[in-house]
Amino acid sequence: MKNNLCFLFIPVIALLFEGNVAKAGNADNAKSFFSSAEGKFENGDYQGAITDDNKAIELDPSFADAYSSRAAAKFRMGDKTGAIADYSRAIELDPKSVEALNNRGTAKSEMGDKPGAIADFTRVIELDPSFVPAYINRAAEKLDQGDKQGVITDLSAAARRGHVGAQQWLSNNGVSGW
């Protein structure tokens, strides 16, 4: 009986090992498709980028960066609803991704969801106070809402972090002491 158990144990271990190798191979292949998608995006081939990101996600459904990459391509193609859905999935997988949150905020703004955009930009600032684009984006939303003090506060924060455009805006609008 002991010998029979040994023969059963070895194939089970082999199957488990093969499964881990397959998962590692899928992750490597997913990264290859992701890299290809990034190159296609940079060259303006957004549909090609989406196709490669789809393959990366199929191979590794927990690959947050592939969802963000696909979202960016969808956004560039005008599919803002699809972009928001993909950014949301990326954020579910990586809740501290300031890039995905900031980009989803931008997409929400484009769709007219100003409170949602401000919430995303605020979350970015909470996670990474040095992420200047979130201050600039939130200031733009506050400007649209007529919240001049909010604009000044956010642009002052960006200016203190070295954003030249924010410094110029504040100077041109008579705001000192930032």
What DSSP line would sit under 3-35, residue for residue?
HHHHHHHHHHHHHHHHHHHHHHHHHHHHHHHHH
Same domain as 78, residue 20: yes
* Separation of alpha carbons 128 and 4, rounded Å: 58
Q: For residue range 14-47, what is the model confidence (pLDDT) as tens digits?
A: 444 444 444 455 667 999 999 999 999 999 999 9
Same domain as 163, residue 140: yes
Same domain as 144, residue 85: no
Same domain as 79, residue 9: yes
Same domain as 103, residue 48: no
pLDDT category, 178, cuts 50, 70, 90?
low
Q: What is the CATH number of the domain that holds 52?
A: 1.25.40.10
Same domain as 107, residue 87: no
Asked whether residue 60 carries a pLDDT value surpassing 90, the answer given is yes
Among the candidates 62, 95, 128, a domain finishes at 95
Give the domain extent around 171.
96-178
Same domain as 87, residue 16: yes
